[in-house]
Structure 1
Amino acid sequence: MDTKAPRTIVALGLEGSANKLGIGIVKHVYPSGISSDCELSPEYVELANVRDTYNPPAGEGFLPRDVAVHHRSTIITLIRQAFEEAKIGPQDLDCICYTKGPGMGAPLQSVALVARTLSQIWDVPLVGVNHCVGHIEMGRAITGAQNPVVLYVSGGNTQVIAYSQQTYRIFGETLDIAIGNCLDRFARVLMLPNDPSPGYNIEQYARRGSKFIELPYTVKGMDVSFSGILSFIEKMAKTEADKYSPEDLCYSLQETMFAMLVEITERAMAHIGATEVLVVGGVGCNVRLQEMMGQMAQERGGKVFATDMRYCIDNGIMIAQAGALAFARNFTTSIEDSWITQRFRTDQVHVEWRV
């Protein structure tokens, strides 16, 4: 696909690695064509970005089989909605991109099945995408961040990442549970609603908190651990409810965990001499996290980039974005290789579209 002629790539993205089902359509425009020796920086045009969320009752988590049922029953309607919003049809697609992993097995399988079926019916190439890389490329496209340290924080992932030699290198990560998982599980203890998300509701409670309660702070080099702090605060909420308000507990939990993230992110910035931080993933919507990260970056003469709920929460257009970049470098996924994996690490991806 190395050509000097103008080139346009239209990609359909299907995301369903957790309880969000997202369908997105993006158009990349290369006015001067695609060169094999240059980093890809197409003109980005968003055509559609629709999403539907499976929300269990308050106090309950979501089971993979229930999420898979939701995705299977909703995905065709969402795809039609996306085409209507984009004002295009299957004949206009250059590739169909789907989340290969990481994520929950049953939901991933449901979406991958639809992707490979449509690929064969419409005779459109298939592109398997790493969920984490999708977040990063979406963040870069929306914010304009050039070469940032990336803090990726979501329900299933917590990583500090930096780019080097066509790979997103993991500098530090959680040693046990992800920060979003920690927030979700504590929200269940407090019986907070799952709509729009447990983490969002904890954020609202935390805004009303004023008393800081000292909690375990576990940073080990460039890595963090959240399981201990979760066990500690769960016990407090259950046995000392008369002493500590839910608002103060949420406030203290956020402040402690976010301080841990700021520490390891700053250490990564110092190591590579970066001045930019890009916060991606569902927890990246948290305004307090953005404030704390912004203060740290400002003190270093840097800047923080973040997106709103349209892009930081799992969505289909981020899969279309990363998939279209890979497709421009001639990457496709055969039907035989269109399996999914719950363990697909960020640093396993060859980021061929960057130099």
Structure 2
Amino acid sequence: MPYYSLGLEGSANKLGVGVIEHPLEKIAAYNQANVLSNVRDTYVTPPGEGFLPRDTARHHRNWVVRLIKQALKEANIRPDQLDCICFTQGPGMGAPLQSVVIAARTIAQMWDLPLVGVNHCIGHIEMGREITGATNPVVLYVSGGNTQVIAYSRQRYRIFGETLDIAVGNCLDRFARTLRIPNAPSPGYNIEQLAKKGRHLVELPYTVKGMDLSMSGILEYVDSLAHDLFQGKKNKQLIRADGSKVTVEDLCFSLQECIFAMLVEITERAMAHVGSREVLIVGGVGCNERLQEMMGLMAKDRNGSIYATDERFCIDNGIMIAHAGLLAYRTGTRTTLEQSVCTQRFRTDEVFVSWRED
């Protein structure tokens, strides 16, 4: 009989539930897992507003039972066929994480199944490797709460560089709030669409410090430009060479170009250090076409390849938790009720990657 697991993800404003099937034999290559269901519901706030932990947790509590039922129905799997219940243990927002872990504990006890806690970033990486076939890439993990450059070594995913303050997704989301553009389907997506219409590059602070980067100063600077633009204040930065004014689209374009160039720089440096020609982009911001294009140009110059997934797998989802959790379960990992405490801070390199021996 194959192995089956159900995964629950709710570290931010997206609640996801997925059911995955693994073959009985040990997974030794990519594309061997079978995605049976992958359902998701997103908590969306009005334009100009972020999502608060309390309200997000309420959304997850309201939807989790319905999504679990839907995922099992789509997968055509009964609870007694499952081998384990996998859940995001961190990192993430405290209240939403807690809502989901309570649901995971409840169904695990109801159905007499073991629990497996999963690091959110590890879920992204393993799902990305499974879907794309990247064997041992340098990983760029870019999301609303995380920005890291990672490479695997000796059963750990080692962090080579990361943000020193806010994550790239958070930077884009907060600028979207400044512009008061819609939060559906996501602020970053709407920034991307505006950026495609921008034609003029506005110079912004470029802050790379070794293998790390900083984005709070960039955000503050572009926010001030946006406020001056809306209020009609005189600002030399907002006047083009031909005397015309910079547009909102130009600001979105410039913000993307600046922070994506920073990400490409530190990723290329990591590739050179570890001698890799593969780049895997994971996390919600990984869906951005311009980021994929810029990273692809860099990889091509190095005779390398870029790997990325679509919104089904790069945006937070339950199937990545089911997959990474089942990999751990098959190598003996179990999470007791006493150990199933979620945490907002859970470093990627804290996880022992027991299922990889290369």
Q: TM-score range by the shorter chain?
A: over 0.9
**Judging changes above 3 Å, is the alpha-carbon distance between structure 1 residues 259 and 48 closer, same or farther for their aligned structure 2 residues?**
same
In structure 2, how many angstroms separate the alpha carbons of the residues matched to 1:142 and 1:191? 35
- Give the TM-score normalised by structure 1: 0.95
Partner secondary structure for residue 168 of structure 1: strand
Q: After superposition, what is the alpha-carbon deviation per residue over 1:249-274, rounded to whole angstroms, capped at 9, x for unaligned?
A: 00000000000000000000000100
- Give the TM-score normalised by structure 2: 0.95
Query: Is 1:22 equivalent to 2:24 in the alignment?
Result: no
In structure 1, how many angstroms separate the alpha carbons of the residues matched to 2:2 and 2:304? 35
Letter in 2 for 1:53: T
Please, which of 229, 243, 247 is the counterpart of residue 218 of structure 2?
Answer: 229
In structure 2, how many angstroms separate the alpha carbons of the residues matched to 1:75 and 1:156? 22
Give the aligned CA root-mean-square deviation in angstroms: 1.1
Partner secondary structure for residue 74 of structure 1: helix
Letter in 2 for 1:309: E
Structure 1 gap segments, 5+ residues each: 1-6
Query: Is 1:179 equivalent to 2:168 in the alignment?
Result: yes
Contact 2:206/2:262, CA 8 A, preserved across alignment = yes
Partner secondary structure for residue 2 of structure 2: strand
In structure 1, how many angstroms separate the alpha carbons of the residues matched to 2:49 and 2:258? 25
Q: After superposition, what is the alpha-carbon deviation per residue over 1:219-278, rounded to whole angstroms, capped at 9, x for unaligned?
A: 000000000000000000001344331100000000000000000000000001000000
Letter in 2 for 1:326: A
In structure 1, how many angstroms separate the alpha carbons of the residues matched to 2:320 and 2:83? 16
Q: After superposition, what is the alpha-carbon deviation per residue over 1:148-190, rounded to whole angstroms, capped at 9, x for unaligned?
A: 0000000000000000000000000000000000000000000
Number of the residue aligned with 2:262: 260
Letter in 2 for 1:323: G
Partner secondary structure for residue 329 of structure 1: coil
Q: After superposition, what is the alpha-carbon deviation per residue over 1:58-100, rounded to whole angstroms, capped at 9, x for unaligned?
A: 0000000000000000000000000110011101100000000
In structure 1, how many angstroms separate the alpha carbons of the residues matched to 2:290 and 2:162? 20
Partner secondary structure for residue 67 of structure 1: helix
Deviation at 1:8, TM superposition (A): 2.0
Contact 1:22/1:49, CA 8 A, preserved across alignment = yes
Number of the residue aligned with 2:308: 306
Q: After superposition, what is the alpha-carbon deviation per residue over 1:307-328, rounded to whole angstroms, capped at 9, x for unaligned?
A: 0000000000000010000001
Please, which of 201, 209, 228 is the counterpart of residue 190 of structure 2?
Answer: 201
In structure 2, how many angstroms separate the alpha carbons of the residues matched to 1:180 and 1:197? 10
Deviation at 1:43, TM superposition (A): 2.2
| Equivalent residues in 2 for 1:1-355, closer than 5 Å | 8-30=2-24, 33-34=25-26, 43-241=32-230, 242=232, 243=238, 244-355=246-357
Bigger mean CA offset, 185-194 vs 234-243: 234-243
Q: Percent identity?
A: 66
Partner secondary structure for residue 293 of structure 2: helix
Partner secondary structure for residue 43 of structure 1: coil
Contact 1:29/1:42, CA 8 A, preserved across alignment = no
In structure 2, how many angstroms separate the alpha carbons of the residues matched to 1:23 and 1:137? 17
Structure 2 gap segments, 5+ residues each: 233-237, 239-245
Partner secondary structure for residue 339 of structure 1: coil
In structure 2, how many angstroms separate the alpha carbons of the residues matched to 1:152 and 1:194? 22
Kindly tell me the number of residue pairs found equivalent between the two proteins: 344
Contact 1:28/1:42, CA 8 A, preserved across alignment = no
Letter in 2 for 1:18: A
